Amino acid sequence: MRKSFLTYVFAAVSLSVSAQVVTQDFESGSRHAEELNCWQFYGTQINGGGNSINDQWACRSQQMNDMPSVATPHQLISPWVDMTSGNLTFLSRLTALNGGGKYMDVYLLDENGGSTLILEHTYTTASTQSFSIPVSVTGLHQVRWDFYGSGGNTRGIVDDISIPGTYASDPTNNPGQIGNCAAVQPVVDSDNDGVEDDIDEYPNDASKAYNNYYPGEGNFGTLAYEDLWPSQGDYDFNDLVVDYNFNEISNANNQIVEIEAVLYVRAVGGSYDNGFAIAFDELTSSNIQAVNGQVLSGNLFVTNSNGTEGGQNIAVVPVFNSAENVINRVGGSMYNTIPLNGTGVSDTVYLTIELTSPVNTVGLAPYNPFLVKNQVRGNEIHLPDMAPTDLVDNSVFGTQDDATNPSSSKYYKTANNLPWAIDVPASFEYPIEGADIIDAYLKFADWAQSSGALYNDWYNNNSPTYRDNSKIY
């Protein structure tokens, strides 16, 4: 049985109207033109003259003389709208009021085919009435008007529709051009930084948007050091072996706001007690707001309040003052360099470097990492041709096997261009204790002496002409 009350809505409290609305006044005068705009008409037309409400045109139904149980009601369906909370408003009247009851129902339709009744109206007059229906849903919806009744020749009219939200239909995907368009998924940008949530790595933080990993997300590179510099020593490159992954976090403008580092000590193959730090040649201490995650004790590094090392013109971030503070030995003087000994496990260092303000570049990862030899702060060992920091002991350069020449920007190389530190963009299988890297990796010397021009695959080519597996851990 049809309910006898005049109007029922699902919310009793009026909501504020959204600043963005989808409107329809039918003043195009063309049903087909509106179908091309994704409005659907089933048993309804755009009519003018005596069938209008405001101006010249409105939407008019066919005769409202079939109840829903008998036939499909005459319908008007809006385009898809990315709805916001507000009021759905429109005008409606009848051409006349005769025969049996005359009714109008309004539904919200969702993407899953569901419908929600938001207005159930019984006409008691043919005169124009103004409707304002509070709508609290959000997301993609359509609005459907149903006109029906019993007996007589009454027709329903609707005009001046305003739907809270933004237009979200695709007129180019309109099969048969009858208005049944596909929905356009709304752009969701929760933090309003201009980057859509589906590509924003930090959708709820407007200061961050993208992750930029090196050597890749979930992948690790390796830094390996020979700590007997300035002597070439046993040249086994396992005195300190550190795996790394860096992530430069950038904002919507692709400016870097934070650096994250994951560091893991895989081997300590010497007797020296070495520290480890990273210099950022393109930053100063003032560029850094705070450093978190360092493993520091003692007085090897004297740090500023923001975690950078004091007395430096560039930003230097100490990571650990001693490898002993992050590794867990299983016995013996060597750590993970003698195959028959037990395997130790290191604590993973998670380093976070927050920048004071966004910058365009912080240099190329892994930046300028260096070993501090045996707790003597001035004894720094860097990657080849990477400059030392302000606290280095310059008197060591040019002694023993070191052929550093600052005037030609040559650092930490022998006369034959052999280095004391290497950066491998993969997890490196380092030599066993006492095995010269030149004997373990047979193309290493050619690669190093050519400054990287030859045999770039020296570390990952498994051919017996490239490596001696008996000398690799």
pLDDT at 187: 82
pLDDT at 214: 98
Higher pLDDT, 425 or 152: 425
pLDDT at 70: 52
Q: What is residue 378's three-state secondary structure?
A: coil
For residue 1, name the pLDDT band (cuts at 50, 70, 90).
very low
**Two structure tokens written together for 149:** 């009744």
The residues facing 288 across adjacent strands are 355
The burial class, CB within 10 Å (0-12 / 13-18 / 19+), for 434 is middle
pLDDT in tens, 49-63: 999 999 999 999 999
Under the phi-then-psi rule, with left for phi > 0, alpha for psi from -120 to 50, and beta for the rest, what region is 126? alpha
Instruction: Kindly tell me if the per-residue pLDDT of 191 is higher than 80.
Output: yes
Q: What is residue 350's three-state secondary structure?
A: strand
The closest of 146, 170, 389 to 278, measured between CA atoms, is 389
By the 8 A CB rule, do 435 and 269 touch? no
**Mean of all residue pLDDT scores within the chain:** 94
Over residues 291-305, the mean pLDDT reads 97
Of all residues in the chain, the percent with pLDDT exceeding 90 is 91
pLDDT at 15: 31
Q: How far apart are CA 64 and CA 93, in angstroms?
A: 13
Instruction: Kindly tell me if the per-residue pLDDT of 19 is higher than 80.
Output: no
Instruction: Kindly tell me if the per-residue pLDDT of 414 is higher than 80.
Output: yes
**Two structure tokens written together for 154:** 């009454």
pLDDT in tens, 123-147: 999 999 999 999 999 999 999 999 9
pLDDT at 7: 34
The residues facing 41 across adjacent strands are 76
The closest of 444, 448, 447 to 419, measured between CA atoms, is 448
Q: How far apart are CA 274 and CA 370, in angstroms?
A: 10
Q: How far apart are CA 141 and CA 349, in angstroms?
A: 49
Q: DSSP strand E in 168-274: where?
A: 169-170, 182-183, 210-214, 221-225, 240-250, 256-267
For residue 331, name the pLDDT band (cuts at 50, 70, 90).
confident
The closest of 200, 386, 132, 349 to 262, measured between CA atoms, is 349
pLDDT in tens, 215-238: 999 999 999 999 999 999 999 999
Q: Fold for domain 7-183?
A: Jelly Rolls (2.60.120)
Q: What's the predicted TM-score (pTM) here?
A: 0.75
pLDDT at 188: 87
pLDDT at 68: 66
Over residues 161-165, the mean pLDDT reads 98
The closest of 82, 32, 36, 106 to 183, measured between CA atoms, is 82
pLDDT at 186: 78
Length of the chain: 473
**DSSP string computed for 396-437:** GTTSTT---BGGGTB-SB-TT--BSEEEESS---PBPTT--H
**Two structure tokens written together for 300:** 């090897």
pLDDT at 337: 97
Instruction: Kindly tell me if the per-residue pLDDT of 302 is higher than 70.
Output: yes
The closest of 470, 208, 420, 238 to 337, measured between CA atoms, is 238
Q: How far apart are CA 97 and CA 120, in angstroms?
A: 18
pLDDT at 252: 98
Over residues 299-325, the mean pLDDT reads 98
pLDDT at 72: 73
Contacts of 5 (CB under 8 A, 6+ apart): 122
Instruction: Kindly tell me if the per-residue pLDDT of 22 is higher than 70.
Output: yes
Over residues 184-198, the mean pLDDT reads 92
Instruction: Kindly tell me if the per-residue pLDDT of 13 is higher than 80.
Output: no
According to DSSP, the β-strands at 349-359 and 315-320 are unpaired
Q: How far apart are CA 143 and CA 208, in angstroms?
A: 37
**Two structure tokens written together for 72:** 């499909």
Instruction: Kindly tell me if the per-residue pLDDT of 5 is higher than 70.
Output: no
For residue 71, name the pLDDT band (cuts at 50, 70, 90).
low
pLDDT at 242: 99
Q: How far apart are CA 118 and CA 102, in angstroms?
A: 17
The closest of 255, 316, 318 to 283, measured between CA atoms, is 316
In single-letter form, the type of residue at position 8 comes to: Y
For the chain, residues classed under CATH 2.60.120.200 are 7-183
pLDDT in tens, 222-281: 999 999 999 999 999 999 999 999 999 999 999 999 999 999 999 999 999 999 999 999
